[in-house]
A and B are shown apart, each in its own frame.
Chain A
């Protein structure tokens, strides 16, 4: 039971005083945001409606100390659907601002920089969709150097910086290249230890984990995996590492399919554009060297599309035909 004496009506005022938090009172808990939010698929405890309700009623301690307030990635899928036009990610940001002020910290993980390797090239500062990375002067190996530093309060763990860093100085738990490589080659899928039936091409699909909404769809795609298909999910198509794509091709994949979210729908704001850019350049490189641009492809899955991925995979397989194997 919640006693009204435990509630802090001032908390509502605190949130509303921060830019972005003003519309908190408009919320009437219709639940559209909770049903839209993709984070819930991976973390069912995250419920934006509930957070707004708790904040609105004054459950200060519970809201500020919760894990969940740090999970919103400001993808803004909910905002255009809110009938009260509440910019929910801004309310979350306002709540987080108060939490930081009060000494709470996000539970992580967030990206980490190895100062022994970092050259301060600033590529990561540009890559981060949230501007969470800055360079700060640090004395390393006897010299003052500008070293990248990730703000854990802002980092959304998308991994785009990990792919972007050209010297391997940033890492993020669970999405290191080594871990991706393990999943790519598990069961000896790479290095062609078995040949698919009927001469079907071997396709590696890097699929953005937010691009398909329903568990049923994911289960269907994962069940399709066999000698001719391997599915590796990424936090974002912007995390795709061109080196891993080329490694897959060098180790026996006939094609690599990168699946990302539709325009305006990226969970991390603009990762999908980086995914597209990388694939576009990779295709140019493959075409220029005569290896063939059809070996790498980017496809988008829109939020309202359902059941489209199997056809897209079949499409790529048809384009690859029955490839003569070059390696091994």
Chain B
């Protein structure tokens, strides 16, 4: 930390908060509020005279509440920068500190917050994690029984710079404990609290156990576990060492802890599964390996930086395997436990990786973006006319669109990844996607359904999954009937419901809407936007009088070539089983309603031309006469 503080190219803004982030990769504008310390950093020598005379003691968060700190203090002895800060919520303004500081004159009660704006090219989010509070688990007695502590509290008790100078003592009576039980997976791997595994607890529990055993060889230490996870280099050997030292590993998750009301000793009950019997272990001290959880302000941070969060609440990476330190927003990177619980080697690796990724940005003058981005036509956008809309905004997984009533919606090109969801959501055709315009797609549709459309299955596929799946079907030589015709879009979110209506207007026999499986979407939430739309569409199509068998929604991944072939085969069989006259009459019956709904397309001359069909292309009466 000291090296970082001294580096000429590193500026540490401590005791500060990010208030606002605007802009895009290479051009972020970050608003920072530096909170008032009420101490002038340049004049504070970190001597600590102020803290010594301060009469107010408050719980010390760094010492896990086991020791006090003063109203004026530093977080801990190695804090960088070593500048004291006054906690104004507790300071009584007695000014003893001012007197003690004397000629250094570093204390300034009139200090106010400073705001600054930083112009940066890349952002790395390394905001870390918090510890789960086991008070919510009544059967473990944390917060009720004095001798049940968390692992973090144990860390402070056995730390030579901690409140007991490294002597392990029992909270109830200050005695050195003769025995200790460590319980794993407290709040982790638990559907009631956090389903994930916190990853580092097995190792730190073993570490603490070995440390204690070295300090107090006669101490009886037991670790209650469901699984011991020691996957990395040297970890399994470390585990074996612990066993060799006589630390007892009991394979069974404790059901409850009770306390002797007189001695405050604890009784841990768990099934020793190897024995198949329930064990009641009396112990002096219980240590809970509490889960790592996202910080309480994670929601706030993710809003400010337009980050998504994974199911556990940690910030979501672009891709779990292929881009683990990138966030979905270009230019913003993730490192450390903020992205998911991990230990020190992994955090350090991610830190280096994120730095390298950020360096790529900073060392380039230009940044390549997708050409298939969306853009708004300000003359068509109704928001520009003062009408409240903004339907495009929530469709964007990247927060690339902003919409203020009175102004046209605006797409930040650098943030756009080209899924096309906004285009399909816009009810006024005011947004369009380069290279995947409505005109281009409808033109494909028209050609594909030119001849005998009622014998065809029109499939809308997304580039990354279902279309690749269809390709896979081909390269794998899975046979399927030649009744299908495909239209590729980048994301299923691009598939506009009007395309489907137009397909039926053109006389399609069947329509297949496909895309990624929910967790696989290349554009994070595009598939969800599509799924909602497709469900609504299903009702609409039935109301138009089209038989439900003629419309199908399937989620097909790039590896599921066999599935694609099977789906087309099934649809083809169904199609052949349907009465051709019925198809024609259903299409005919729906045409007027569809044309009314597609009226707005006619506002665009190109679309109007596309839609105006020659008599020989229309389904219905003409064909019957043939």
Residues of A that sit less than 8 Å from B by CB:
28-36, 40, 44, 47, 49-50, 78, 80-81, 83-85, 213-214, 216, 303-308
Q: Is the CB of B138 within 8 A of A304?
A: yes
B residues less than 8 Å from A36 (CB atoms): 255-256, 269
- Kindly supply a per-residue 1/0 record for chain B positions 158-197, scoring 1 wherever the CB is within 8 Å of any chain A CB and 0 otherwise: 0000000000000000000000000001000111100000
Given contacts A28-B226, A36-B255, A214-B280, contact A49 B260 (CB under 8 A): no
The answer for the CA separation of A28 and B226 in the assembled complex, in Å, is 9
Task: From the candidates B260, B262, B278, name the one contacting A35 in the complex (CB within 8 A).
Answer: B278
- On whether the beta carbons of A30 and B226 are closer than 8 Å, the reply is yes
Kindly identify, within residues 256 to 300 of chain B, every residue whose CB is under 8 Å from any CB belonging to chain A: 256-262, 267, 269-271, 273, 276-278, 280
Q: Which of B191, B254, B255, B267 contacts A84 (CB 8 A)?
A: B191
B262 cross-chain contacts in A, Cβ below 8 A: 307
Nearest-neighbour CB distance to chain A for B267, whole angstroms, equals 7
The 23 sampled A-B contact pairs (Cβ below 8 Å) are A29-B273, A31-B251, A31-B273, A32-B255, A32-B270, A33-B255, A34-B278, A35-B254, A36-B256, A47-B271, A78-B255, A81-B256, A83-B185, A83-B191, A85-B192, A214-B267, A304-B138, A304-B141, A304-B256, A304-B257, A305-B258, A306-B259, A306-B267
Point out the residues of chain B lying under 8 angstroms from A34, CB to CB: 252, 255, 271, 278
Q: A306: which of B189, B192, B252, B261 is its contact (CB, 8 Å)? A: B261
Measured CA separation A303–B256 after assembly (Å) = 9
- B259 / chain A contacts, CB cutoff of 8 Å: 306
Name B residues whose Cβ lies closer than 8 Å to a Cβ of A. Answer: 138-139, 141, 185, 189-192, 226, 251-262, 267, 269-271, 273, 276-278, 280
Q: How far is the CA of A205 from the CA of B365 in the complex (A)?
A: 86
Across-interface contacts of A304 in B (CB, < 8 A): 138-139, 141, 256-258
With both beta carbons as reference points, the residue of chain B lying nearest to A78 in the complex is identified as B255
A214 to B281, CA, bound (A): 11
B260 in complex: contacting residue of A28, A50, A306, CB < 8 Å: A306
Closest residue of A by beta carbon distance from B250: A31
**How many pairs, one residue from A and one from B, have CB atoms within 8 Å of each other in the complex?**
76
Judging by beta carbons under 8 Å apart, are A35 and B192 in contact?
A: no
Chain B contacts for A308, CB-based, 8 A:
261
Known: A32-B254, A85-B192, A304-B256. A40 touches B141 (CB 8 A): no
Contact residues in B for A306 (Cβ distance below 8 Å): 258-261, 267
> In the complex, which residues of chain A have a beta carbon less than 8 angstroms from the beta carbon of B255?
32-36, 78, 81
Given A83-B192, A84-B191, A303-B256: A31 touches B261 (CB 8 Å cut-off): no
The distance from the CB of A315 to the nearest CB of chain B, in whole angstroms, is 14
- Are B226 and A40 touching (Cβ within 8 A)? no
Task: State how many angstroms separate the Cβ of B250 from the closest Cβ of chain A.
Answer: 10
Given A81-B139, A83-B185; A35-B252 close (CB under 8 Å): yes
Across-interface contacts of A29 in B (CB, < 8 A): 273
Which of B190, B270, B271, B277 is most buried by chain A, counting CB atoms within 10 A of its CB?
B271
- Ranked nearest first, the 8 interchain pairs of A and B with the lowest CB-CB distance are A35-B255, A31-B271, A36-B255, A83-B190, A30-B253, A306-B258, A34-B271, A31-B252
For residue B253, which residues in chain A have a CB less than 8 angstroms away from its CB? 30-32, 35, 83
Given A214-B267, A303-B256, decide whether A44 and B277 contact each other with a Cβ distance below 8 A: yes
**How distant is the Cα of A50 from the Cα of B273 in the complex, in angstroms?**
10
Known contacts A44-B277, A306-B259, A307-B262; A35/B271 CB under 8 A: yes
Closest to B277 in A: A44
Contacts beyond the supplied A35-B256, A306-B260, A307-B260: 5 A-B pairs with Cβ under 8 Å: A35-B255, A35-B270, A35-B278, A81-B255, A304-B256
Q: How far is the CB of A55 from chain B (nearest CB, A)?
A: 17
Residues of B within 8 A of A85 (CB): 191-192
Centre residue among A84, A213, A304 by max chain B CB count within 10 A: A304
